Amino acid sequence: MLAVLSPGQGSQKPGFLTPWLDLPGAADRLAAWSELAGLDLRHLGTEAGADEIKDTARTQPLLVAAALLAGEQLPLENVAVVAGHSVGELGATALAGVFPAEAAITLAAVRGREMAAACALEPTGMSAVLGGDPDDVVATIERHGLYPANRNGAGQIVAAGSLEGLAKFAAEPPAKARVIALPVAGAFHTPYMAPAETALGAVAGDVAVTDPARVLLSNLDGTSVTAGGEMLQRLVRQVTAPVRWDLCMRTLKELGVTGIIELPPAGTLAGLVKRELKGEGAPEIVTLNTPDDLPAARDLIARIGGATR
């Protein structure tokens, strides 16, 4: 059984979209999506520097566009499972057939813009916590008035909240853990993002959905969502809810996934999977970063792709 994964914010790299624009129709697709997003996605993916593409309002639709451009080059009818990390869920949901690519781009643009606006309301941030006992890490995060915004597995939890609280947390870290401040604009996936959740919900109400054509995992709890309407509600809620990527990886293991393709910009999720699902039965992984990687991805699907539901 094979899964396709769509990465989230922080995975972007300057120029990463450049080779994909050589594919037939890709430039036209990106131009149309740029109109929907109100952004020059071609510029952002090919010419913009690191500082420009770390802006939440720009990064989120750019990442979704990249996932869709690459995903459309794969024989998805032979892919059994799809999942995305944070904003990557929008691309994964479109590739599962719940709504069209255009809806994913529109939602990503609203999500990114409104989350950026929410970040400006008060000084907040995020810090990665590496190592330590997971239960102790979460308890220490909450004791400082912070939120465990991402539980990524492989010994990585992300704390989020006020900059003051994060500073105190870093000064009194959990036992056997390292705390590293992340260069992000604010406390994503926490109640600080409530205005963005409200704004996204208003737009999502106009999106027509169908039930997913393949197993679609949710960041909320790692479960497979079988109803398109429920997934749309979860996508809205996820703006303020923690990302439980650890539970998504647990479900990948329980489903018996033996092959994984990570969409561009690939590497982050593949790294987490390698550290979490190691040893006997570890899945074969293809990181799809340029069109040169497409033959390996298609070969993996041909060899171990599973039937869709």
CA distance 90 to 67: 9
Q: Helical H runs in 205-280?
A: 228-237, 245-255, 268-276
DSSP string, 197-219: HHHHHHHHTT------SSEEB-T
Active site residue 86: yes
Q: Considering 6, 86, 127, 218, which one is annotated as catalytic?
A: 86
Report which of 112, 235, 108, 269 is spatially closest to residue 184, judged by C-alpha positions: 112
Could you tell me how far CA 198 lies from the centroid of its own chain? 20
Name the one residue in this structure whose structure tokens are 């922080």: 10
CA distance 168 to 196: 27
Q: Considering 6, 144, 162, 189, which one is annotated as catalytic?
A: 189
Active site residue 189: yes
Strand intervals (E) in 132-213: 147-153, 156-162, 177-181
Is the C-alpha dihedral spanning 232, 110, 268, 288 positive or negative? Answer: positive
Active site residues: 86, 189
